[in-house]
Amino acid sequence: SQQGEEDPQALSIQEGENATMNCSYKTSINNLQWYRQNSGRGLVHLILIRSNEREKHSGRLRVTLDTSKKSSSLLITASRAADTASYFCATLGAGSYQLTFGKGTKLSVIP
Amino acid sequence: GAGVSQSPRYKVAKRGQDVALRCDPISGHVSLFWYQQALGQGPEFLTYFQNEAQLDKSGLPSDRFFAERPEGSVSTLKIQRTQQEDSAVYLCASSLAIPGSVNYGYTFGSGTRLTVV
């Protein structure tokens, strides 16, 4: 079963705009990770945020985590056409080996 | 190699046929995972190996699915008597550390797309 729920399911923006994707989950977590998947390819790890962290940055990526609301957001600033992909959040449950993925947000960046 | 390698890239099987999917993780990676991804969905966990030990196989959908990693490196996912509902992309991932122990994400292979006809 899939724990995470990404929102929106699909997002279309112009190049240069910011893209925000949200993720909600249900159980206690050790960490939350965001991955990108280009069509027909494997997943690429983007960023990991631990349960005791609230915000993390990596290049044009900014991730926030609110454990009280069991939610996270991924912000991509100054988007590029190459950012077009599906983005998944994945949670590692406390004491678990399973990284549980949501259904993903499909991002289209129009040049 | 530099990444996780999976073979074959594509596999078409007739219903009832047995298939074997191979995963070569990054050398030295302790953890190895198999995931199943249906079209338009996120990956679903199948099983987890820590070195050669299969510590979690709770995601395997039926006893037709079997995975092994006998020497703690290469892993094989075997599906017996394939059914149409087994059609999916099977992804392998590896990680240097035990899940949750450090701030490492997982490195995924490009997957094997299995089509059962």
- Chain B residues closer than 8 Å to A102 by CB: 42
At B72, the amino acid letter reads G
pLDDT for position A42 = 86
With beta carbons less than 8 A apart as the criterion, state whether B78 and B20 touch. yes
**pLDDT tens digits, chain B, 117 residues: what are they?**
579 999 999 999 999 999 999 999 999 999 999 999 999 899 999 999 999 999 999 999 999 999 999 999 999 999 999 999 999 999 999 998 887 776 778 999 999 999 999
Q: Do A35 and B58 touch (CB under 8 A)?
A: no
- Chain B residues closer than 8 Å to A94 by CB: 100
Cα–Cα distances in angstroms (integers) from residue A41 to residues A54, A55, B108, B111, B112, in the given order: 30, 28, 9, 7, 10
Cα–Cα dist B97/A38, whole Å: 26
Nearby residues of B62 by Cβ (< 8 Å), 6 or more positions away: none
Cα–Cα dist B40/A44, whole Å: 17
- pLDDT tens for A47-66 read 999 999 999 999 999 999 99
Instruction: Quote the minimal CA–CA distance from A42 to chain B in Å.
Output: 4
| φ, ψ for residue B109, nearest 5 deg | -80, 175
Cα–Cα dist A91/A101, whole Å: 7
Residue A40 buriedness (CB in 10 A; 0-12 / 13-18 / 19+): exposed
pLDDT for position A3 = 59
Calculate the CA A2 to chain-centre distance.
14
